[in-house]
Structure 1
């Protein structure tokens, strides 16, 4: 009787302790995941109080602004249908440059794009060796004081951005901007990014669609880099150069189809992991680097691990019917983000947060594969012709 009474009194306590432990573990995973969203926002509010001082003179700041020349360099591959309009739009914008001469240079990796870009001031036809190589070549060929890197399929806004850029170059050595996509399911993602960067401008969270710098400040990046934008930003940051995001300049591009967007997300994430993780310690030494690690890398590493751990806990503790519902919801969200069967609807946009958590694991596998292959794998990816 004594043994039975002890068993009856201790069993409920054991169940309670186990359930309490699971609840705390689930709450902890939720908090860790949410930190990836909340922490950058809190840092942005705090950091918005900081005053950004102008960088030191590098030799060109002593030159009269009215004499500074500017060249827009467009690395382009399979962009034959969009490059003429891009050149025309950029030419109109360059009339707002308050400095000296301006020009447009296209680094074409295919002959059809080179022919379509004939209205540019300079067209260089190169082989397809990756965007990083095209960028290096374009900057090396330029003789302008200021170089702007952009893509053929985007539009820099507002049209007087060159005048705004002149002001930004008094604050930053490398200037980037905010990005938006037209008719994209990632609307909330871009709005969040834009808000954080507007408060936290001195950051390495740049976009490759707009990078501006003094040509003499540029150091060639390794040609095998996939994420050329973060490689350039890290290069500037390592040398004590100020990297920042303009809150007045932006780029817009048409939202890609679901499968193209998925591939783009995975490629960018794998590139960031490949570039950044080996340089983690070095990046913690700079303010811009620390901001970037918390803003971007946390969401590619710690955040998704916590998310999938929470999903596993929910599946384990739920009844069979509940498990089926949870699993169906998660798989549907990922499949919708990957294939877009729900279209660009409110319901589809609501699944984006879950769908995005499937990107880091795939990107991590791809980044590890690149580490194993080393430099034998160039900085290329499957490109959709435009």
Structure 2
């Protein structure tokens, strides 16, 4: 088992399942071994590949998620969360869901232009667009690329509704646009808050904002008039499940008004990556964690069936649901029905005739 490259989620780079030729890539040179030593640079640098996307909006028909349209400005994610369900999608781009997912990123450089073209089409009907649902729209590369901000500028210009989920503190850079949209009922934000433990955060989500920073993000977003909630996603048995009540307490104190949760999912290559991470960081708990996951998934490591893939089933899933709902109810979270984002303000700044091309 190779040691992890500094600040990366995994040392593994499993083969792309669509590629019949396997090439071993040994990235452990024995030099960068101490994750606590900030004087050591990263042993694996981030590479950005620029893509001219042919289309920008993805349509969703899953009954498990509350949106029909989404945009992901980036493929792959430098946040390096070991549990990320989007890791297997990197195989579609002839790259590994392991280290490649964290270090070989694809940036959709023409995203804002493609969004304008889509919104200008006369047959386009506005419905809320979820921003960064697969990979985080505010991951570190956004600081220089500014693709997410360019998309928000289009949403503001067209008065189009948008929701954001992130664990990146860079969202505060765009408070001006987010508050402008929110003042018109066009924007809501969810902060991914999975732990209050800095050590667990460092192991599980190495390049994300610290828990205290995320709570500060919630407060600043709320103070700016932006509807904000949290997602405890994922709940991992014997890893962060003990923190449910404390996380909800802290989020409510920071100004969150809504909260949701998702159980850990292990699709395709993520199963191997997560189990390697367990053995690396929590070897004494690894068997207990996987046994509980199998209890949730009908004896398997994963169950992709709509209706239960996000929560699992059985006594443990029921217990998590009860604990979460009871605490949220006591805190007044989810107390009122969330107003849907408005679609009646949508406009095409250059006029409806722009679509006749």
Q: Which TM-score band (shorter chain)?
A: under 0.3
Larger relative contact order (Cα-Cα within 8 Å, sequence gap ≥ 6) = 1
* Higher Rg: 1
Structure with higher helix content = 1
